[in-house]
Amino acid sequence: METGDPRNSVPPGRGTPFFGFVVAVGVLAVLVSAGPLAGLPERLPGMPAAFWTMAALAVACDARPFVPPGRRHTSAVFPSTCFTFAILLGWGLGPAVAVQAVAVAVSGWRLGYAPWRTAFNAAQYACALAAAHAVTRLGAGELYDGGRLHWTVVAAVGGGAVAWFVVNYVLVSFAIRLRFGDRWWPNVRLGLGYELLSTGSLLLLAPVLVAAARASAALIPLVLVPLFAVYRMARLSTEQAQLAALDPLTGLPNRKALLAEVAEQVHLHAERAGRGEPDAHLALLLLDLDRFKHVNDALGHAVGDRLLVEVSARLTGVVGERDLVARLGGDEFAIVVPRLTGTDHARELADRVVAALAEPVPLDGLPLDVGGSIGIAIFPEHGEDFATLMRHADVAMYDAKHRNDTVAVYAAESDHNSAERLSLLADLRRVLEATPAVAVAAPSAVRGGDGAILAPAPGLTGPAGPAPADGVPRNGGRAGGAARPGAGAGAGRWRLRRRERAEAPPDDELINRIVTNADPIRRRAARAVGTDAPPGGVGHANRPLAAFDDHPEGPTGGAPSNATMLPGAAEARAAGGADDPAGDPGEITMYYQPQIEIATGEVVGVEALLRWRHPRRGMVDPGELIQVAEQSAVMRLLTRRVVDDVVEQLAKWSAAGLTLRAALNVSVRDLHTGEIADQIADRLAGYGVPPDRLQVEITEGALMADPRRVLASISQLHRIGVGIALDDFGTGYSSLQHLRRLPLSEVKVDRSFVLGMAEDPDDAAIVRSMIELAGALGLRVVAEGVEDERTWRLLHAAGCDVAQGWFHARPMPAGELVAWLSRYRPVRPVVTADADGGGRGAGGTAGGPDT
């Protein structure tokens, strides 16, 4: 690392006030010491041997000051302090200032100080000696008069030592403040204890020198013995501290040393940045070895230790002289790279490290492949302290592992544990825990047309009479038992807090709303005269809520916008809920997207999609929502809520005469716990819903995370009678062996392939191959992302079973789905010579989402 002192310059913009202060201190030093120094030439010939001995020792000892390792030279211990303070006590201010000036010049030359810095040090010591001299003059008697020392003399000596320390420390601290601005106080505060111990001890040793000089000048050199002992003890203590900062296995610096080094380098690079130097960037590289646990498990820890030693040797061989390599523990290493011009230089070093580890390590004749993932955090872009840089480097390292890459630079979007996400997770927990669950069965339950026992719905037994038989929720059409205000325990199922309580609309008004929503002309006319938004909360006819689907990209790839919020979001904000962190966390509901059998045009099922309207963020992206919840126990609460709502909605539809199959997604965490099967079985039995009405979708990533536990969970679901679908087929890494063993009933071709098959022959070939493979295994095939007629016809020609996408319908609340189903008319694709569906067939099409 660097050995020169970087503090011989001043940051830009601070030179004028700082050097003004240096000049002022120099002028003050001249004023207080000019008189005593003027008479010094006449006094020197008569000075005793004790004075000359102390003066020689002061200059000689400062030629080799003690500089603690890891500290800047401003924290060096200058032994001349005790000698010059003793000279002050015995012979006055002039001789003390002169000797101190010579000692400062010698030490400044040895340590490489700039001339202005040496001059400032001499001036500050002169001011400190002058203050101490003024205090010691208050004591009665002289130290060298041979008489008995009075207590006032001893008190004056102590007061003089305090005055010396205070003046010296104040001058230095003020100079640091002028040079470094707001960063001055932490450094001054942290160094106060060290300065009190080191400088205070030297000052209090001065009276001992005075006492020795009173007896004989020959005794003065004996003070070198305790000074040397203190010096050696300090050295031994430093060596012990250094050993405590080393890893015993590899000999590399450990985490403690890394912390100290990064803190030091951050300060130095902040100075470089203040001076406008180009090499003001500092990189922290965090390396985690791959497959190291396999080596330990297969060959033993002794071989693993030897491998770590070899890896440490390779790392130290590839880095530069100024770089620091540290072992943090286990198979984690860190590299500090100072004086970089940017991220590219850090990447170059990371690539060299990867290349060095790519060569197998031969141990006992067995070549061991060693690789690693490296995360990079840069000062000051990614943090200005050790803790922040370390955390961001760790985030980047796991990002590299997740992407199966070797090197990754920190990016905010990869940080899944930011304060914003923690706040979002807390709000999600509140919205899930605060809403009561609806009873599964009760004595007053209503039995549906297929025998399903329905839980009492909000308003079912209230004064307004029974709920409508079509299953369309009242007062806004929220799915899953969304409550009519004041309808009992179910009233707060999704909505935690209402600002106003409105009466339920009468049946004729409800029918009028449904008809208005179904007719685009009437809907536009109603909107023009200020009629309420249609049930379900779709904001604008041309800006559907499908932008917040599990797949947020629509036909135009538009990003979510606040313009697509559900009605009521602005009112909730105006009511103050958006500004109250402990207030309303919003509402959660389920949307449903139809699945159409391509050959017949019939609606055979729906996919349940989660929606959360947050009071401050509007509609939360479902992908972000799942990503946040999946990393905590909140995922169990969320899954329980989704299962409850979907099964309850299936029972409501059955009671209304609708026979639909609903598919819902479950996470890796749900499949690993094994509780999901028992929960689904309990809910199906409680609501009287046949198991084949429900289908669970799993992703290839969930399957590959732990195939054994996932297989156990889905096998239990299969025994219950619940269908299993493999979602996002083609995007993961599942093997055909697992695909053959799984009790699947359906595979869903990912929308990333379906969207491009009409334009990209490769995508079309991939989709056809997937359909043929699934058909050979006896599995039903669902294509996601069907957004135009041509894609619909291509899928039909390829033999796909079911289509899902905007071409038929966007996701919608349960109430809107009932209205949509009443308008929908099945359309079968016409097989023509133009198999790619260049134009409309004879039978027409299913139309767009609003058909």
DSSP assignment letter at 578: G
Q: CA 421, CA 416: separation in Å to the nearest integer?
A: 7
CA 684/CA 695 separation, integer angstroms: 12
Q: Which of 271, 784, 787, 789 is catalytic?
A: 784
Q: Are 694 and 662 in contact (CB under 8 A)?
A: yes
Q: Token digits for 509?
A: 């008004």
Rounded to 5 degrees, what are φ and ψ at 489? -65, -30
Q: What is the C-alpha separation between 145 and 665, in angstroms, rounded? A: 96
Task: Give the residue carrying structure tokens 């409501």.
Answer: 652
Strand pairing partners for 593? 607
Q: Under a CB-based contact definition with an 8 Å cutoff, are residues 305 and 320 in contact?
A: no
Q: How far apart are CA 85 and CA 96, in angstroms?
A: 7
DSSP state letters, 744-759: -SEEEE-HHHHTTTTT
Long-range contacts of 115-123 (CB under 8 A, 24+ apart): 116/19, 116/22, 117/7, 117/8, 119/22, 119/26, 120/22, 120/25, 120/26, 120/175, 122/29, 123/22, 123/25, 123/26, 123/28, 123/29
Return d(Cα 527, Cα 510) in angstroms, integer: 16
Q: Give catalytic status of residue 784 as yes or no.
A: yes
Relative to beta strand 802-804, strand 361-363 is: unpaired
Q: Which one-letter amino acid corresponds to residue 120?
A: F
Q: Residue 342: beta bridge partners? A: none
Nearest C-alpha neighbor of 333 from the set 343, 342, 323, 344: 323
Backbone φ and ψ for 670, nearest 5 degrees, come out as -65, -45
What's the residue count for the chain? 851
Residues 6+ apart with CB under 8 A from 828: 599, 600, 601, 843
Please count the helices (runs of H) and the strands (runs of E) in the chain. 29, 18
Residue 679 contacts residue 716 (beta carbons within 8 Å):
no
Catalytic residues: 784
